[in-house]
Amino acid sequence: MSNILILGATSAIAKHTTRLFAADEHNLYLVARNKNKLSSMKQDMLVRGAKEVNYESIDLADEKQHEELIKRATEVMGSIDTVLIAYGTLGKQKKSEKNYANTLKELQINCLSVISILTIIANQFEQQGSGSIAVISSPSGDRGRQSNYIYGTAKGALTIFLQGLRNRLAKSKVHVLTIKPGFVDTPMTKDFKKGLLWVSPEVISKGIYKAINKKREVAYLPFFWRYIMLIIKAIPEKIFKHLSL
């Protein structure tokens, strides 16, 4: 049994991943904005086997609260063994192109606020000499594309940060996992036309669960995205800049 902190717990991917943790009888600490969703999620996790479930509703974009949040979660559970960071927004690319304030907001939520939490968690885990940090990044951080490079910038920076963190924390036996899910059919992507490459959040959650347990470093989910991105990354910039991706 271990103590797991889930940030952005009510997102579709996090909810399904948490269910898999619950079945393993772990202690859970759930954080998200929506209190109603958190309270039904708590009941659900208890039925599925979670030992103990606590939750609090805060806006994770607010960095000032991070220190206190991690402190409370540590106190309530005794310690933290695993953190899953799963919150974020897809943002509106077109809006950000015209408006820097909007870009800043996207970077703030999807990258800077996550780095703020990671800073606190990394130090805590480094000190305890153990722990697993799993963060949902994105394949869109692998290469900038006109359709969503603001989101891509945030996730790309996050991916680099996680790389560095992994390198730094390796000697402290702290595991850092970068998760890169492809197209997932969730409320966040409800306005997209869905094709063959789309998968359900359940599929992604199984991949995350496995990647955490097996202490993987980088997990493209489903696996084939690794190869899709290899190809996308291999296209020469001279050609790439003319593509509408």
Partner 1 sequence: MKNYQSWGRFPKIDSNKQDVYHVYPDSFSFPEFDEASSDNTSFLPYAQGRSYGDVCQNEEGILLDTQHLDHFIQYDKEKGTLRCEAGVTFENILQLIVPHGWFLPVTPGTKYISVGGAIANDVHGKNHHKAGTFGRYVLQFELLRSNGDRLLCSPTENSDLFNATIGGLGLTGLINWAEFSLKKIPGHQIEQETIRFNNLKEFYQLSDQSDKDWEYTVAWIDCLAKGDELGRGLFMRGNHCNSAKKLKFKTSKLSVPFDAPGFLLNKYTVSAFNKLYFKRPVKQFQKVDYNPFFYPLDAISHWNRLYGKKGFMQYQCVVPTEHREIAMQEMLMLISENGQASFLSVLKEFGNITSPGLLSFPRPGITLALDFPNRGQKTLDLLNSLDVITLKYNGAVYPAKDARMSPESFAHYYPNWKDFEPFIDPHFSSDFQRRVKPAPESKIQKK
Q: Tell me the residue ranges of DSSP E strands in the chain.
A: 3-7, 27-32, 52-57, 82-85, 132-136, 175-181, 218-221
Binding flag, residue 37, partner 1 (CB under 8 A): yes
Q: What is the CA radius of gyration of the chain?
A: 18
Tokens standing for residue 6: 């889930």
Per DSSP, the chain holds a count of helices (H) and strands (E) of 10, 7
Question: Closer CB to partner 1, residue 34 or residue 127?
Answer: 34
Which range in 43-51, 58-66, 161-169, 209-217 contacts partner 1 by CB under 8 A? 43-51
Least distance between partner 1 and beta carbon 14 (Å): 14
Angle at 66 between CA 221 and CA 218, to 5 degrees: 20
Tokens standing for residue 156: 């790309």
Least distance between partner 1 and beta carbon 6 (Å): 15
Least distance between partner 1 and beta carbon 47 (Å): 4
Contact 130, 81 (CB under 8 A): yes
Question: Closer CB to partner 1, residue 158 or residue 184?
Answer: 184
Which range in 36-44, 73-81, 93-101, 110-118 contacts partner 1 by CB under 8 A? 36-44
- Interacting residues with partner 1 between 142 and 171 (CB under 8 A): none
Q: Tell me the residue ranges of DSSP E strands in 114-195.
A: 132-136, 175-181
Whole-number Å distance between alpha carbons of 227 and 50: 36
- Interacting residues with partner 1 between 180 and 219 (CB under 8 A): 185, 187, 194, 198, 200
Candidates 9, 41, 136, 176; binder of partner 1 (CB under 8 A) is 41
Question: Closer CB to partner 1, residue 34 or residue 123?
Answer: 34
Residues near partner 1 (CB under 8 A): 34, 36-37, 39-41, 43-44, 47-48, 185, 187, 194, 198, 200
